[in-house]
Structure 1
Amino acid sequence: MGRYRVRVATGSSVFAGSKNQVQLWLVGELGEAALELRLRPCRGKEEEFNVEVSKVLGPLLFVKVRKHRILTEDNWFCERITVQGPGDSGVEATFPCYRWVLSDGILCIPEGTARTVRNDPQGFFKKYREEELEERKKKYSWNSWKENVVRTVSGAGLSDLPLDERFHEEKRIDFECSLAKGLTDLAIKDTLNILSSWKTLEDFNRIFWCGQSKLAEKVRDLWKEDSFFGYQFLNGANPMLLRRSTKLPARLKLPPGSEDLQAELERHCQAGSLFEADFSLLDGIQANVILCCQQYLAAPLVMLKLEPDGTLLPMAIQIQVPGVGLPNPPVFLPSDPPMTWLLAKAWVRSSDFQLHQLQFHLLRGHLMAEVISVATMRCLPTLHPIFKILIPHLRYTMEINIRARTGLVSNGGVFDQVVSTGGGGHVTVLQKAGKYLQYRSLCPPYDLADRGLLGVSSSYYAQDALRVWDIIKRYVEGIVYLYYKGDEDVENDTELQVWCKEITEIGLHGAQDREFPTSFHSREELCWFVAMCIFTCTGQHSSVHQGQLDWYAWVPNAPCTMRMPPPTTKDVTLEMVMATLPNFHQASLQMSLTWQLGRAQPNMVPLGQHKEEYFSGSAALAVLNRFREELAVLDKEIRERNSKLDLPYEYLQPSRVENSVTI
């Protein structure tokens, strides 16, 4: 009993406030009291009240909230409620919410201290946990978007999503306005170019947007150079395919008279300086048909050598022509005629565009993040420490993925319109790639070791990925070791074990044969898995997302489709190259999409800089602050390194890494 000071914070987004009345209850270990105050929450404000309570409540457990609809529904976004107990020395309790409050019942908000099932010996929160998860499982159910593709959240459209997963108004307006701008510019470019000739590589300048990216302008100027071609496998939009060769690939078929080339390849292999990029996942994929015109795909194999100064240079490109099955598919060399070699590299870059967008960006970035998001919402209650550490990194993921499924890779979507893997081939790529999705490949220390990239001084992706991973893992360890005092605590956390099993067996269609765990037996296993989840949703997605505007804006460097089959001879002309590369409409749409996806996001939240405070207590906040301090140090070091580079690598600079998959 006594006077309580209550502070109610409302979000700052456009419609966060509400004209409806809100009623509060305080729930303590010894009793419950309805507060007399009625408030109409104001956007972006923290409102303070002093209320008299006649009952003895004891330590506070919950604040209950009910919004009364007056004539019309007016949802309220509650950030947090803070309550200070009676007296000058009254304990202050924080109740983090960060959810929309609707007029469909009472919302119960627990005090913010993280608790596992075993951290509730008196059972105060047992019923709350069970009821919350039961309700969440009704809102968040699994769906099979396409057969044998990792599972997604149920719902055909945005309106099917829970309101808490939707873009806030500022994000929605920015996204839809930028999309409208891109489509308008596309229409203008189509109109201006419809009667123009499209005969030389310089003609692509007519749809190139200058001033959007300094690196994109360098790509336009340098894309023909072999060193630039090789650099992209290390630090471009897709640094995930390159691996060091331990022997010559079995699928490499050198034509007669290639003894010198084979000897040079074997010499570099023995020296540890031979690398390969194998696009065999594209073998057998049915190419798209666009406006009755057949498009084409290939499954190239690229052999490269790493020079002592860190320059990666192509040595040979083998292009397997799908459906032809040549015993000796053509192998193209830097010594070939310039136009022949340029077309061979263009085929590689187009194949890289396909695998980057589907295997490494969509599947391993967006869809993997969605699996983590859905399982987290279904299996971990608000009180759980793993829920609290993960939830900032799941923001907006479900909505952006539904937008992708209904706009980019849907029937009649962008892929069907202009991408050579559209028309169903993109689904086959996702299905094949999913079968090869290994747990190790999502963890940079394992992935980079398996691909032989550790210690490659010119691989800035590898260096930065390892450092971001290490910082994330230390952050996770700091939280996990606060709430799990030993391995036994991990093994006996039933909610945690269900969450792990749901990701592997349901979300990933039974991926335990690819080393994904179905249970945790130690704190170290848990830390590694949670670090993988956070890195996937932040650093890994950033590394394959941000470079799109830089590397794909100059269309010849990354053609979205190829309109002629791969060459079977080395007699290549400029006319053949132009007839193969995208036409002006396809190039314009690629440019517009590249700008839409790759531009700087005005509502971007950098890694670790989320304003939401889900943890209460100084110990957890200290762990978060150390995380932020380490990120700031790394950010400064990357900036200093980049200032000395001709091509700065910024995609894993913490201040540029998005805190979740939001675009």
Structure 2
Amino acid sequence: MTEIEKIAGKAPYVFIIRTGADYPQLRSIKKWNDGTMMITVNPGSQETESRLLRIKEQFSINSEGSVRVEFWLSETVGIPKLLKVDLESNKLEIVKEALFVREVTVLYKYQVYRFPLKNYVYPHNPIRGNPTVAKMGCPPHFLVREGIGTLKHHETEEFLIKAREEDLKTLQSMVQWVDPKKVEGTLLYPGHLAIEKYDKLPRFLQFRESRLDTYLSLKFLGVKQAEKNAVKNILQKVVGQYHEERFTSFDHYKLHLIENAKVMNWSKTELHEALSVIEVWEEDEECGRQILLGPHAIKLTKVKTLDGRWRQGLSKLADHHLEGKTPDQALQGGLLYEVTTDTLIGIKHGGRQSLKLTGTKQTWYVTLADCLVYQRSDNKVVPVLIRLENRVDEEPETWWVPPPPGSSKDDPEYLQWLLAKMYFRGSDLNRYSLCAHFCRAHAVGEVFGVAAYRNLPNAHPILRLLQPHIQGIIPVNVHARVIFQAPEDGGFSMFIGVGDQTREVFENYFKEFCYEELLFPRSIEVREVQDVPGYYHRDDMLASWKIIEAYVNEMVDLTYATSEDVLKDEEIQNFAREIAEHGFGRFEKKAGFPRSISNKEKLCEYLTAIVFNFSFYHASVNFQTFKYSFPPNAPTCMLKPPPAQDEVITMDRILDSLPVGELAFLSYNVAYNLAQYSPIERFFLEDPAEDKLGIIGENMAVAPEQEACIRRMVEGMRQLKQKIDDRNSKLKFRYDLLSPSNVPITTQT
């Protein structure tokens, strides 16, 4: 038989297989050669299934690479709609290396068909037969739908329906909700993944190796230094020379930061920013700026009444505090705002681990601290009244106001006010770390990730929209739960005032949490902060929300022709149902999360909130903590109770109240580690070489019309970055925290 006769009735199919998972590129480039890749076109179709294609090549592992192969297949195979991708090992070792397959592209009759996989395939041993269940953290094989993806009720061919059902069944076996009875006992906490240990996670839910290596390296250096401090303390106690590493001045704290930055090799740029804050941290204008632009900028709320918590302390205010206005006049003028810390009500003092860490037993005082903020005529926002209450010890509340104009830094009134601000800033930091950051960004976010993987198969267009944004939340949360919820073994109880009772703080927060908190424009209206000048956090968050909202609307329009399509989509409805029932089923009224999604508008709102929560919201509460971590500016704990109303404050009293050296180091180190993220996974990358690895490269949305939506979104991000750059050129302190070039597309730390 001639070659022409052999290929009669056949057509050429070209397969381009892209592999490689780690960014940034590691120093060595490894190749996978553990066996053979096997691909079947249209598996399960009686009419169009191809023969098994065996591809024995060296595939890239550590960096992105591609392999091109060509096959003659029967023309009856026709258009490739579904691929089955599997690996067969040629080795007998027990442990082999999984291969990350990014995408398989098929060229057929001059048309391009793209199959996004973005997952790990594990080679099975041919002697034992093909596995049918997940093994070694990987599915037995992958069934990948082409192009834009489809809705289940739009499928007309049985083999495609069966493929998405098998895909979903496999994922559900690997991603399971924790037993509700194990969710922190009787305490209120969202549902999450049942797996408790990182190394037990499915491979696709683990960090990429380069990202994990960076994280573990930073963690190791910090732990090593902390252990070195602890060993030194023990040895000094044995020989009777131990004394706590206390500070003699604010400059001493500054020197301590600089010395540790050298030891830990922290970024000089980030250290410079922290030192810039240290130069002005004592000023009321700087305190006001941090309320607007610091890590907890989402808490500012307009005061609606002075009755209740504020009325008793108003007599402390003098004419100069409100520029000659009475408190009621300032209230009527819409010039008063507040930051409160009610989430700490009922939380006992911490310090259980202080002996282990510092060598002496300490009490870390939990103080209810509220701040009344005034908008001056020069549009500066400044604190004017602070309420402190040591409710744990049943001490009466106290009230503190700024000193008279012209006061020196040695005056008792100045020191009283400075110490009151420290208690307020410390309480706010404790609450923001556990509530605004971990609870709101991480614990809530994991619900969306688990529900998406369990209910949206590879073929679903909405999974392709969400995948780059949900990919980081589960692995980081498995690590974080050990740290945040381990008061007996250390964790955050090692240095943060409320760390002994993280679970109780979580419950306080979640008693008030609801779905509407995720809708940032709505939160601006509820808090009535639309007109606060210099509130760049609000401006940048709203601008980014609008860009993401427009992007999500376009992607949803590509998927759903009408709202009826949304109602008929059982997979997206199951997604919403599991969020409400498994994620927030123990919450009152399921925290306001809908059990179903009734129309396209509600779906767009829901998806916008999810993408925004994983990216811009998380960035706003996480990535500048190191800048403000100078202990006198934001103490993680206070070693003395808040002052009595008639107490005369001295500098010694202030220094004795602030964290000692071991605690200061831990606060720096944790804050620095939290601020690190993969430089590639951002919304906007100016370098064209990086951009192909950014959100477009990460997205499973591969159809031309989907990528066009992504590119329009990226252009919106470019314009936002330019707007932020132009604004910052006129500011003393740049505020580029929410510049798209600084915001990761997924929650990483």
TM-score surpassing 0.5?
Answer: yes
Aligned residue number for residue 199 of structure 1: 248
* 1:55 shift after superposition: 5.4
Q: After alignment, is 49-58 or 594-603 more displaced?
A: 594-603
Greater displacement, 427-436 / 51-60? 51-60
1:39 and 2:74 are equivalent in the alignment: no
Q: In 2, Cα distance between the equivalents of 1:111 and 1:602?
A: 30
CA distance in structure 1 between the partners assigned to 2:545 and 2:699 by the alignment: 22
**1:163 Cα deviation after fit:** 0.5
Q: Which segment is superposed worse, 38-47 or 505-514?
A: 505-514
SS at match of 2:640: coil
Query: Is the Cα contact below 8 Å between 2:560 and 2:566 reproduced in 1?
Result: yes
Contact kept? 2:683, 2:714, Cα under 8 Å = no
For 2:204, the equivalent position in structure 1 comes to: 164
Q: How does 1:394-433 map to 2 (within 5 A)?
A: 394-411=470-487, 412-423=489-500, 425-433=501-509
Q: Distance in 2 between matches of 1:125 and 1:342?
A: 67
Report what 1:627 is aligned to.
Answer: 713
Separation of aligned partners in 1, 2:116 and 2:306: 57
1:220 maps onto 2:278 in alignment: yes
Q: Give, in angstroms, the shift of residue 546 of structure 1.
A: 0.8
Map of 1:384-463 to 2, 5 A cutoff?
384-411=460-487, 412-423=489-500, 425-463=501-539
- More displaced 10-residue stretch of structure 1: 115-124 or 524-533: 115-124
Q: Does 1:107 align with 2:128?
A: no
* 1:487 aligned onto 2:563: yes
Query: Where do 1:296-315 residues align within 5 Å?
Result: 296-315=365-384
1:555–1:409 CA distance, 2 compared to 1 (3 A): farther
Two-structure CA RMSD over aligned residues (Å): 2.3
Q: 1:259–1:572: structure 2 CA closer, same or farther, 3 Å change rule?
A: closer
Alpha-carbon deviation of 1:602? 4.5
Q: Does 1:23 align with 2:100?
A: no
Gapped regions of structure 2 (runs ≥ 5): 1-9, 125-130, 132-139, 237-241, 262-267, 356-360, 404-411, 685-693
Q: SS in structure 2 opposite 1:455?
A: coil
Residues 493 and 257 of structure 1, relative CA distance in 2, 3 Å threshold: closer
Q: Deviations over 1:126-167 (max 9, x none)?
A: 212222222211111112542321122111211221100111
Q: Distance in 2 between matches of 1:584 and 1:656?
A: 31
CA distance in 2, matches of 1:624, 1:90: 25
CA contact (8 A) 2:580 2:590 kept: no
Which range is displaced more, 49-58 or 378-387?
49-58
Matching of residues 167-182 of structure 1 within 5 Å: 167-182=207-222
- How far apart, in 2, do the equivalents of 1:559 and 1:633 lie? 37
Residue identity over aligned pairs, in percent, reads: 24
Q: What is the aligned counterpart of 2:737 among 648, 651, 660?
A: 651
Q: Which residue of 2 aligns with 1:502?
A: 578
One-letter code aligned to 1:264: T
Matched, 1:62 2:124: no
The whole-number CA distance in structure 2 between the counterparts of 1:339 and 1:439 is 42
Q: Which moved more, 1:1-10 or 1:252-261?
A: 252-261
CA deviations on 1:52-90 (whole Å, 9 max, x unpaired) are 1135112212111221122232211111111112xxx44
Partners of 1:392 and 1:610 within 8 A in 2: no
Give the Å deviation of 1:378: 0.7
Q: 1:457 to 1:16 in 2, by over 3 A?
A: farther
Match of 2:6 in 1: none
The letter for the 2-side match of 1:587 is A
The Cα of 1:255 is off from its aligned counterpart by: 5.1
Partner of 1:560 in structure 2? 636
Instruction: Tell me the secondary structure at the aligned position of residue 7 of structure 1.
Output: strand
Aligned counterparts of 1:250 and 1:123: Cα–Cα separation in 2: 65
Amino acid at match of 2:553: E
Q: 1:53 to 1:605 in 2, by over 3 A?
A: same
Could you tell me whether the CA contact under 8 Å between 1:215 and 1:647 is conserved in 2?
Answer: no
Map Cα deviations across residues 459-501 of structure 1 (whole Å, 9 max, x no partner). Answer: 0000000000000000000011111111111112111111112
Distance 1:532 1:466, change over 3 A: same
Distance in 1, Cα, partners of 2:224 & 2:153? 57
Give the structure-1-normalised TM-score: 0.94
Q: Deviations over 1:8-48 (max 9, x none)?
A: 11115366734222121111763212244332342132111
Partner of 1:83: 106
Residue correspondence of structure 1 range 605-616 to structure 2 within 5 A? 605-606=682-683, 609-616=695-702
**Would the alpha carbon gap of residues 369 and 16 (structure 1) be closer, same or farther in structure 2, given more than 3 Å must change?**
farther
Which amino acid in 2 is paired with 1:22?
M
User: 2:725 pairs with 636, 639, 663, which one?
Assistant: 639
Contact 2:82/2:160 (<8 A) preserved: no
Gap change, CA 1:68 and 1:255, over 3 Å in 2: closer
Secondary structure, in 3 states, of the residue corresponding to 1:434? helix
Aligned: 1:247 with 2:315: no
One of 332, 351, 366 as aligned partner of 2:427: 351
CA shift at 1:313, angstroms? 0.9
* Alignment check: 8 A CA contact 1:442 1:536 kept: yes
CA distance in 2 between partners of 1:310 and 1:188 (Å): 48
Indicate conservation of the 8 Å contact 2:682/2:744, yes or no: yes
For residue 8 of structure 1, the aligned residue among 11, 14, 17 is 17
Give the aligned partner of residue 541 of structure 1. 618
SS in 1 for 2:326: helix
Match of 2:345 among 283, 289, 296: 283
- 1:480 is matched by which residue type in structure 2? V
Q: CA separation in 2, counterparts of 1:396 and 1:32?
A: 36
What's 2:453 paired with? 377
* Deviation, structure 1 residue 309: 2.9
Deviation at 1:248, TM superposition (A): 1.3
In 1, distance between residues paired with 2:70 and 2:314? 89
Distance 1:600 1:114 in 2: 30
Report how far residue 632 of structure 1 moved.
0.8
Structure 1, unmatched stretches of 5+, are none
Most deviating of 335-344 and 297-306:
335-344
Superposed, 1:137-152 pairs within 5 Å as 137-143=172-178, 144-146=182-184, 147-152=187-192
Verify the 8 A CA contact 2:683 2:717 in the aligned structure 1: no
Amino acid at match of 1:579: D
In the alignment, the residues of structure 1 paired with residue 429 and residue 299 of structure 2 have an alpha-carbon distance, to the nearest angstrom, of 12
Letter in 2 for 1:2: A
Q: Is 1:231 aligned to 2:280, yes or no?
A: no
Alignment of 1:568-583 (within 5 A): 568-569=644-645, 570-583=647-660
Contact 2:300 / 2:339 at 8 angstroms: preserved in 1? Answer: yes
Q: Aligned AA for 1:388?
A: R
Q: Deviations over 1:406-430 (max 9, x none)?
A: 234424233111111112x211111
User: Relative to structure 1, is the Cα distance of residues 254 and 523 closer, same or farther in structure 2, using a 3 angstrom cutoff?
Assistant: same
Q: Which has the larger radius of gyration?
A: 2
Deviation at 1:122, TM superposition (A): 3.5
Q: Which residue of 1 aligns with 2:136?
A: none
Query: Bigger CA drift: 579-588 or 301-310?
Result: 301-310
